[in-house]
Copies of this chain bind each other. A is one copy, B any other.
Amino acid sequence: MSEDKNALGYAKLAPKTPVPSDIEVSQQIVKEVGLLPVADVAKQVGLKDDEVIPWGIAKAKIPLKARDSRKDLPDGNYVVVTGINPTPLGEGKSTTTIGLAQALGAVLGKPTIACIRQPSQGPTFGIKGGAAGGGYAQVVPMEEFNLHLTGDIHAVTAANNLLAAAIDTRMFHECSQSDEALYKRLCPEGKGFSPVMKRRLKKLGIDATKKPADLTAEERSAFARLDIDPDTITWQRVLDTCDRHLREVQVGIGAKETVKAKGGDGRIQHCRKSGFDITVASEVMAVLALARDLADLREKLGAMVIGYSRAGKPITADDLGCGGALAVLMKDAIMPTLMQTVERTPVLVHAGPFANIATGNSSVVADEIALKLVGQDGFCVTEAGFGADIGMEKFFNIKCRYSGLKPKCAVIVATVRALKMHGGGPPVSAGKPLSKEYTEENVELVTKGAANLVKHIENAKKFGVNVVVAVNQFKNDTPAEIEAVKKASMDAGAYDAVLSNHWAKGGEGAADLAAAVVKACNDNDAANFKFLYDVNKTIKEKIEIISKEIYGADGVEFADLANKQIEQYEKSGFGNLPICIAKTQYSFSCDASAKGVPTGFNITVREIRSCAGAGFLYPICGEIMTVPGLPTRPGFYDVDVDLETGDVIGLF
């Protein structure tokens, strides 16, 4: 192979210095180098023509048969990329995920697929900007990645909000109709029970082979009246928009949303206080990330609990007659989207559940497809959101539990900057210049802060994986500082610790990291992988294990509400679900300002919410914001269309 080609036979990347903005890099690659037709990206990993559905500009969806038809083939090596507790600027987990995959594929020539989350579109127009990686380690075209993609998040919005409409509408109709009237409308003459109705009959213990006319009056009432207690409704509406004024709203205040007062002549406004979340916070997104196939997706969506009846029984999407329609709305969304990196290596983008209230990991099915496609000697590099105390723990204990997949290696991304912060450096915040502690050499701060990294390494090792530390290089980092990180890592039992400069140099910059990851995988047996806890322990025991073992807490305090909910969940049969703790990513503890390795603290569980359909409980430990706001000058001020070329400008 000639010098100017990479291991895949394509022209080698020619990075510019200084590195242009992300959108400039992306558009330069598209225009000067050219994208690989998505069908050819697919061919790289052995996909057949009928396993690729082209879906818009430089994107394709991969049907699940790509996995199922290879079910007897061995899986590739499963690598998760995670990070230390970050600064608000981020430490480059996505960029490292992409850079590592470029190095494995385009430099080392190993069959490799990167699996990443679809970013929420809302924040793209706020302060966050794009999420395709960055510099010379990104997915291209970045505007296609960041905007709409193949519509999966829009499908989640549609599904979530159909269920929301069904809830309020059903309560509205139940208000004004007798049980018999409700039943007659639900089961009009000549129409039998539909499949979703049979699910409810089964749940109620009513013979589902009966015809609607054959139910007793008691059975009709039980079937027709859900009797939802409005105070228990946890289902919110969603939008993929940073619209803070929707966080809490009063719905149903229109003149037509009134019902006849019982036993009176007047009409009562059928309104209630509710709220919106950003779409990626929807349980539908969590379901998408954890579903194994269309049938499992259907079951999980139908099993989502929206609240409880006045008698304390969980009310599901299927009880509302919605589960099938939700699955139909999500039937395309269950297929991951294939794109490519700046070095033409394949990327599967799929699902993007919130990293606090949900798992923060991309989908099970994307990883499964990737592992089959890359084959025994290949690599699936997947990313876990937030710091390793949250994202990685959930990756292992929830995602891997549901998938049955066994990772061999965890890459923990660290930066000198973040370690200095953990060592006692002044606060770091977006939009403000960095203090001199961060721009000048300060080995002492690094060494002190490395304790945070050390704890994450120790945590990862509890799951039986080899740990490779990736020091994500920034321009002010000095050799002595980097050496300090490496030494601390190796002392803590990391398999290796490697400097990586993929942002500026692409795959070449991550070649050493890739070599270390290959070695770490070859040197581990997937059978070593183990969970931290047995799901059959009590809810409290599971929360305590995570809090003590991963966060280093002394113990856990449960508020009254949480205790009440635990009781309700155990009664409802949700007691053996895994735990998905919602807390800050900025610290091991629940206090975002507690840097390094805090000790002597308790975890306080204010309440515990359920994602009974997706399959986890999420204790709320701290304030969780599910609709970001917009600043006075949001990112959208810079976004425009170049009317000459049609190019998108100003995305970042």
Interface presence of A246 (CB below 8 A): yes
Given B154, B164, B632, B640, which contacts A186 in the complex, CB threshold below 8 Å? Answer: B632
> Could you tell me the distance between the alpha carbons of A328 and B649 in the complex, rounded to whole angstroms?
9
Interface presence of A20 (CB below 8 A): no
Contacts of A21 in B (CB 8 A): none
Q: A55-B56, A158-B121, A329-B147 are in contact. Are A195 and B245 (CB under 8 A)?
A: no
Contacts of A253 in B (CB 8 A): 248-250, 273
Which of these binds chain B: A236-244, A460-468, A503-511, A567-575? A236-244
Interface presence of A347 (CB below 8 A): no
Interface presence of A475 (CB below 8 A): no
Contacts of A295 in B (CB 8 A): 641, 643
Q: A241-B162, A331-B648 are in contact. Are A257 and B252 (CB under 8 A)?
A: no
> Could you tell me the distance between the alpha carbons of A169 and B244 in the complex, rounded to whole angstroms?
7
Contacts of A147 in B (CB 8 A): 328-329
* Count of residues in A whose CB is under 8 Å from the partner chain: 92
Q: A249-B253, A253-B250, A633-B186 are in contact. Are A640 and B243 (CB under 8 A)?
A: no
Is A256 within 8 A of B244, CB to CB? yes
Interface presence of A161 (CB below 8 A): yes
Min C-beta distance of A504 to chain B, whole Å: 23
Given B54, B195, B249, B324, which contacts A249 in the complex, CB threshold below 8 Å? Answer: B249
Interface presence of A634 (CB below 8 A): yes
Interface presence of A499 (CB below 8 A): no
> CB-CB contacts of A379-408 with B at 8 A, as 1s and 0s?
000000000000000000000000000000
> Could you tell me the distance between the alpha carbons of A271 and B245 in the complex, rounded to whole angstroms?
8
Q: Which of A143, A151, A631 has the most CB of B within 10 A?
A: A151
Interface presence of A477 (CB below 8 A): no
Interface presence of A638 (CB below 8 A): yes
Min C-beta distance of A641 to chain B, whole Å: 5
A contact set with B: CB distance below 8 Å: 53-57, 61, 121, 125, 143, 147-148, 150-151, 154-155, 157-158, 161-162, 164-166, 168-170, 172-173, 177, 182, 185-188, 194-197, 237, 239-257, 270-271, 273, 275, 294-295, 298, 321-325, 327-329, 331-332, 629-634, 636-641, 643, 646, 648-651
List 29 A-B residue pairs with CB atoms under 8 Å apart, sorted by A's residue number: A53-B54, A53-B57, A54-B54, A54-B55, A125-B325, A143-B328, A148-B154, A157-B157, A165-B242, A165-B244, A168-B244, A169-B245, A172-B245, A182-B632, A185-B633, A194-B650, A195-B640, A244-B252, A244-B254, A246-B251, A247-B254, A247-B257, A248-B253, A249-B252, A254-B275, A294-B646, A298-B640, A298-B641, A298-B643
